Amino acid sequence: MSDDFKRVESHACPMSTCAAPAGSPCRTGKGKVTIQYHTARFRLVPKLVKALNEPTPAVRKPGSVWTELPRPKGVGTEPVGHVRLGYARASTARQSLDSQLDSLTEGGATRIFSEKISTRATRRPELDEAVKLAGELRASGVRVTLVVHEHKRLGRGIELATLAEELKASDVGLHFLTGELQGSHDPSGVVFTVLAALSGMEREYIRDRTLEGHESARKRGKTIGGAGVTDDHMLSMALHLREQEMSLRGIASRLVITNGQKKGQHPSPATVMRMLREHDEQTTAPLAS
């Protein structure tokens, strides 16, 4: 059995609806042990940051009545030491990084990651490495701050907000040397909160526009992707997993398509969302009439 669950449980769950202390599994709103750890919690572990889900092991008896277990030794101790990691980026090969590198060195960065890559790039290897190292150092008990010349070097809008969420999950601070957000920002501070809210608003906007597009297509008699892959058994399982407060992505990873060209594959989160929404609409329709 993997011991990843021990790494997850070395952190208290940051979900307000759970708030399980370190050493105990996550719990549902109904006081049961969840079948998987909450995303916000298992992503505090660097090696699990990009995982879709982290199942609660049998030893924790998922589905049973939740009880608090003894906390591991060392939990709650103050961070030892402080590491400042720097990140510099230029959009084109012609642009110089010298001024950024100089300011990061003066700003106390002991190691600097730099790259020349467009903000439009979906993946920035050096930034990924900086965030990964920051998470690993923080998990070892060291206080860590990512130092950047200004926030635009990290991205704009949803990109910056998404990165802030990832840093907050790892309890890594941010420090901007100049610009509109100049200064140090603690993961529990207002800047992280605003950026996280921005990220959530953007996702809600995209989701609502997608649903509006689907509804418009249905009125015109068009079929939305995912038709034919769901069945009653899949719906029953999805409803059960939703009761356990599992995310759409987590639910989709537990379901398997049993017919058609996609037989044996997992349905997409969008398909699961559509299936559950249609079930809810059919369930509430008789009550409204």
User: Do residue 139 and residue 179 come from a single domain?
Assistant: yes
User: Do residue 89 and residue 155 come from a single domain?
Assistant: yes
Res 77: pLDDT:
53
CA–CA distance, 160 with 22 (Å, rounded to integer): 29
Does a structural domain hold residue 182? yes
CA–CA distance, 233 with 41 (Å, rounded to integer): 30
Band of residue 1 on the pLDDT scale cut at 50, 70, 90: low
User: Do residue 66 and residue 140 come from a single domain?
Assistant: no
Catalytic residues: 91
Domain stops at, among 51, 71, 91: 71
User: Do residue 99 and residue 158 come from a single domain?
Assistant: yes
Res 289: pLDDT:
47
Q: Residue 75 corresponds to which tokens in the numbers above?
A: 């939990």
Given a cut of 90, is residue 31 above it in pLDDT? yes
Given a cut of 80, is residue 7 above it in pLDDT? yes
Res 199: pLDDT:
47
The radius of gyration of the chain's CA atoms, rounded to the nearest angstrom, is: 22
pLDDT above 70: percentage of residues in the chain: 76
3-state secondary structure the chain: CCCHHHHHCCCCCCCCCCCCCCCCCCECCCCEECCECCHHHHCCCHHHCCCCCCECCHHHCCCCECCCCCCCCCCCCCCCCEEEEEEEEECCCCCCCHHHHHHHHHCCCCEEEEEECCCCCCCCHHHHHHHHHHHHHHHCCCEEEEEECCHHHCCCCHHHHHHHHHHHHCCCEEEECCCCCCEEECCCCHHHHHHHHHHHHHHHHHHHHHHHHHHHHHHCCCCCCCCCCCCHHHHHHHHHHHHCCCCHHHHHHHCCCCCCCCCCCCCCHHHHHHHHHHHHHHHHHHHHC
Does a structural domain hold residue 205? no
For 265-283, what is the mean pLDDT?
81
CA–CA distance, 38 with 253 (Å, rounded to integer): 15
Does a structural domain hold residue 77? no
User: Do residue 94 and residue 22 come from a single domain?
Assistant: no
For 67-92, what is the mean pLDDT?
78
Does a structural domain hold residue 213? no
For 111-137, what is the mean pLDDT?
88
Q: What is the pLDDT of residues 205-234, one digit of tens each?
A: 555 555 565 556 566 655 554 456 777 778
User: Do residue 161 and residue 59 come from a single domain?
Assistant: no
Q: What is the pLDDT of residues 36-70, one digit of tens each?
A: 999 888 887 777 877 888 999 999 999 999 999 98
Cβ atoms of 117 and 124 closer than 8 Å: yes
Mean of all residue pLDDT scores within the chain:
80
User: Do residue 44 and residue 115 come from a single domain?
Assistant: no
CA dihedral 100, 106, 107, 113 (to 10 degrees): 50
Does a structural domain hold residue 206? no
Q: Given strand 183-185, what is the order of strands in its sheet? A: 111-116, 82-90, 143-148, 173-176, 183-185
CATH assignment at residue 105: 3.40.50.1390
Burial 12-37 (b: 16+ CB within 10 A, else e): bbbbeebebebbbbbbbeeebbbbbb
**Residue 224 burial class via C-beta count within 10 angstroms: exposed 0-12, middle 13-18, buried 19 and up:** middle
CA–CA distance, 215 with 192 (Å, rounded to integer): 35
Band of residue 89 on the pLDDT scale cut at 50, 70, 90: very high
Res 256: pLDDT:
85
Domain range for 271 is 232-288
Does a structural domain hold residue 64? yes
Res 152: pLDDT:
81
Please give the tally of structural domains in the chain: 3
Given a cut of 60, is residue 154 above it in pLDDT? yes
Q: What is the pLDDT of residues 237-250, one digit of tens each?
A: 888 888 777 788 88
User: Do residue 96 and residue 64 come from a single domain?
Assistant: no
Domain stops at, among 39, 71, 103: 71
User: Do residue 94 and residue 188 come from a single domain?
Assistant: yes
User: Do residue 66 and residue 88 come from a single domain?
Assistant: no
Domain stops at, among 41, 71, 101: 71
Res 228: pLDDT:
64
Does a structural domain hold residue 214? no
What single-letter amino acid sits at 171?
Answer: D
Q: What is the pLDDT of residues 187-206, one digit of tens each?
A: 766 666 666 555 444 445 55
User: Do residue 269 and residue 172 come from a single domain?
Assistant: no
User: Do residue 91 and residue 141 come from a single domain?
Assistant: yes
Band of residue 101 on the pLDDT scale cut at 50, 70, 90: very high
Does a structural domain hold residue 215? no
CA–CA distance, 38 with 11 (Å, rounded to integer): 12
Given a cut of 60, is residue 259 above it in pLDDT? yes
**Looking at per-residue confidence, does 72 or 258 come out higher?**
258
CA–CA distance, 170 with 41 (Å, rounded to integer): 10
